[in-house]
Each structure stands twice: as C-alpha cells, then as structure tokens.
Amino acid sequence: MSCPAYHVLISRYVDDALDEGERADLLLHLGRCSSCRLTLARYRRLDERLRQLSAAEAPSDCRRVLFQRAEAERPWFQAIAWLRPTTLAATSAALAVLLLASLLLPALSYRFPQQGIAIHFPGDASRQEAVRLTLPGGTTRVAAADNPEITLAGYLPPAAGVEHVALRWDEAAPSPAYVQIVFVAPHGPRVRFERSAADPPSAPIGDRMPDSVVLVHGQVWRYTRHISADGVEIVRLIRSTSSGDIISLEGRVPLQELVHLIEWLQ
Amino acid sequence: MLNGGPGVNEATASLRASAELARAHRLEELSRLYEDFGDRIYAHVYRMLGNRQDAEDVTQETFLRALKSIEQLRQEDRLTSWLYSIASNLCIDHIRRRRRLWWLPLPARDGDLPETAGSDLPAVVENGDLVRRALRTLSPKDALCLVLRTAEGFSCTEIAAIMGCSESAVWSRLARARAAFSEAYERMARDVEETR
C-alpha cells in the first residue's frame, strides 16, 4: 500500500477507529516510514488546533431578536387578525423618496452603523432570497420569485420601518437588476436605497491600477487594485503596524466597502 | 376592511383566539428549543462562519426553521442531530454564497496589538486566524465534517446523521479534509513567517 493510502488509515487512527488488523498494518508501516510518522504528528497537532477553535457565547440579545423574528414570521391568518384597515392602507401606499443611501454590489452585507440597518445581497444564491434587510430589533427577509415583480415573503410590520420594496430581476442575471427600498431609519429620515446592474466597470480588464494611500481613522493604508483572471476587480488594503505585523483586507468590493469594514472593526 | 355584521365580528374574535393559542404554543416551543440548544448551536455556527453577526443570523434562522418543521420530527432522541443538520446546512449555504473577504482582526488602537517576541507568531495569527483561513480552503462539507469531529467531538455515527450520509463517507471525507487542511495550514504558516 502506498503512503497516500496509509494517510487514510492515519486519519482513522487519530480517531481511534481502526480494527486490530488495520492498526497492526499501520504501526508496522509507521515503524519504517518517517514521512508517515510526520503526517501522524501533523494530524494530531492540527486536530488540537481545531479543538481550540474559538467558540463564542451567543450574545444576550440573540434570543430577543429571535423571538421578534418569530413574531414577524407568524402565519398569515395571525397577521391578518391583528391588522387594522388603516395600517394596511398606509403600508401599501408608495412613499416619497428623500435620500439615496448607497450603491452596492451583489453578495455583500452593508451595514449603516449609525442606524443599525443592514442590507444584504446573497449574490449568486438561489432566487428565493434576493434581498434581506436587517433592521433594528430584528431581521426581515424579502424574497423575489422568478417573476420580475416584487414578492414579499412575509408580512413586514410597519414598526420595522420598511415601507416599500421593488425588485426587478432579469432571468440571466445572478442578482436583481434593479432594487429600490424605501424605509424609515430610526431617528432619521426616510431613506431610499437603490442599486442598478447597469453600473459601468470601474477599470479596464488587464490593467493594474497604481498603488495609492488611503487614510482611515488616522491610519495609513496602502491601497491596490487589480483585475482577477475572471475579470473581477479585487481591492486590497494593507497596513504595517508598529509592531511589524502586516494586516490585509481584500475583497471583490468597492474600496468604500473595505473602508467601512475598517470603521466597523475600530 | 374587517368591519361587518355580528357574524363577521364573532368569526374574527374566534380567529383571534385560535391565533393567540397557536402563537403562545409556538413561542413556548421556541423557548424550550433555544434554552436547550441555543448556546451549542451558536458555538457551532460561529466555528463554521467565524463572524458574530453571521453566526447570530444563521443561529436565529436555524431555530425558526426548526420551529416550522418540528412536528415532522418523530424521534425526540434525534433532536440534536436534526438541529445540527439544519444549522450545518445553513452554514454551508452561507459559505457558498458569500464573496471572499478575509481580514485579520484589528485592535482599537495600535497599542493594543499583541506583543511579538522573536520568532513567536502572535496567538491571534498563529492559531485562530490561520485555522479559519485554512478551513476556508476546504469545501464547505469537508470543513463541516472536520469541525464536527475535532472541535465539536461528535462520533462518526452522529456526523453521518447530521450530514445525511454513510459512516464510510464520513471517514473518507475526514481523511480528505485532514490532508487538505494540513497542507493549507502548513503553507499559510510558512507564508506568515516569510512576510514578517
């Protein structure tokens, strides 16, 4: 048996899952093969590292948010039983637009730290979830069916602040071609968020952009961009700390999104 | 729209009463589930995703989905593997969907950075982050299998129930995952050393 085949036995040996014959065969091989002995040692060492993989405790408000979501997703007959006619009328009306929040790329979670609202685009996921809004006090999911018109997966209580959602989805696209969301930010004005798939590419394919510097919260970051083999722009921020560590943030997202990430982490 | 004669009002009141009972039962069931499994599921999801906000969201989604289909669970003793199965599938979906965005944790101020002494890597770089980065090079199912076995301590039989596969498939996946994880981790550890 070759060494790669013995690696399979070594993996089960680490899990104490070999029968007597297999164990004897492996131990005989380990007595002769230093490479496999190193593999065994490496598997045991890395298993220990995995056992130390940190597990966090659920935050205290996780339960509260869970129950709020459970309330928001109650069956339709329960929702109707609590509705007042005036609430239905107000919710169904389209509201005036006051502000443009931002433009996002697919598969990105964007958080407004001041307002506690996040908008998430799953990107190339199934069509069952086009947009998810995380609002103060809970998460509400909005789904788009294969039809290009809007579909609300669940009743959105007015208290959540979402007043109108419109989606247009082109069949061939991995994400909605057009999204508009109007919602009321807590302690703030109504916000319109819009995203269109018609955004022009930000850099010609094949070119590498010159490095530049970005200042974020008094820290100097080196900023680079390049186009990947599949034609996607990759943005990177790199900083060397005073103690010699190199910290790098990279993503297929606009620079501003990485800057926001730095701000969230501060 | 809900206004009408006495008959309509009585029907509405009856509907509300039924809905209230169903709501109370539903919330009680959810409370029981979360009290018994909330911390464990969150810990598992956090190990898989490495991000607190994502872990919160997926944990909540796990229990909401469990609540919707708990009547279909016939055997109470399968509750643990069933919940882990829901959570794990949601983690896999999440991993597959999100774009690659890696970062090392930033301290609030430069002065908070861990001390580095000689050839020792900072603990945060050596262990948690390298482990997570190496795990991310694996397929989501291989990473799940490895985490369930090593970090969570599930047996092969339990992992097979969670992942919905045979025990021989679990052993094969573990062997593949260990080999791939080992190769990725060692390579990344060398890269970190070279950039210092």
Question: Biggest alpha carbon distance in chain B?
Answer: 84
DSSP secondary structure code for residue B115 in this structure:
P
Question: Range with the lowest mean pLDDT among A8-17, A36-45, B6-15?
Answer: B6-15
Nearest to A69 among B31, B64, B146 (CB): B64
The two tokens of residue B157 are 């039989």
Place of tokens 């890696």: B102
Backbone angles phi, psi at A131, to 5 degrees: -140, 140
Are B101 and A50 a contacting pair at CB < 8 A?
no
Q: In this structure, what token pair is assigned to residue B127?
A: 């262990």
Query: Which tokens hold the place of A32?
Result: 């002769």
Residue in A3, A36, A62 to test binding to B, most B beta-carbons within 10 Å: A62
Tokens of A111: 């958080």
**For position A177, what pLDDT does the model report?**
42
Which residues on chain B are in Cβ contact (under 8 Å) with A118?
Answer: 53
Q: Is residue B145 within a helix (H) or strand (E), and if so which, with residue range?
A: helix B140-150
Question: What are the tokens at B118?
Answer: 């000689």
The pLDDT of A172-176, averaged and rounded, is 43
Is the Cβ pair A63, B110 closer than 8 Å?
Answer: no
User: Beta A190-196 vs A212-216: how paired, if at all?
Assistant: unpaired
- Note whether B43 contacts A56, CB cutoff 8 Å: yes
* Residue B100: closest CA among A216, A116, A230: A230
The verdict on a CB contact (< 8 Å) between B52 and A56 is: yes
A 10 A CB-CB count for B142 gives 19
Quickly state the pLDDT bin for B88 (edges 50, 70, 90): very high
Residue B195 pLDDT level (bands cut at 50, 70, 90) = low
Higher pLDDT, A10 or B109: A10
- pTM for the predicted model, two decimal places: 0.53
Q: What is the mean pLDDT of chain B?
A: 75
Q: Pick B176 or A164 by higher pLDDT.
A: B176
Residues 48-87 of A with CB under 8 A from B: 49-59, 62-63, 65-67, 69-70, 73-75, 77-78, 81-85
At position A81, the amino acid (one-letter code) is A
Looking at the complex, does the CB of residue A252 fall below 8 Å from at least one CB of chain B? yes
The answer to whether the Cβ–Cβ distance between B131 and A265 falls below 8 Å is no
The SS3 assignment for B138 reads coil
What number is the average pLDDT over the span B183-196?
Answer: 78
Q: Which of residues 108-167 of A touch B (CB under 8 A)?
A: 108-109, 118, 122-125, 134, 139
Tokens 């926001």, residue? A260
Instruction: Name the residue type at position A100.
Output: L
Among the partner-chain residues B63, B106, B116, the one whose CB lies closest to the CB of A262 is B106
B33-63 exposure pattern, b = at least 16 Cβ within 10 A, e = fewer: bbeebbbbbbbbbbbbbbbeebbbbbbbbbb
Tokens encoding B44: 């598992």
Least confidently predicted of A125-134, A245-254, B114-123: B114-123
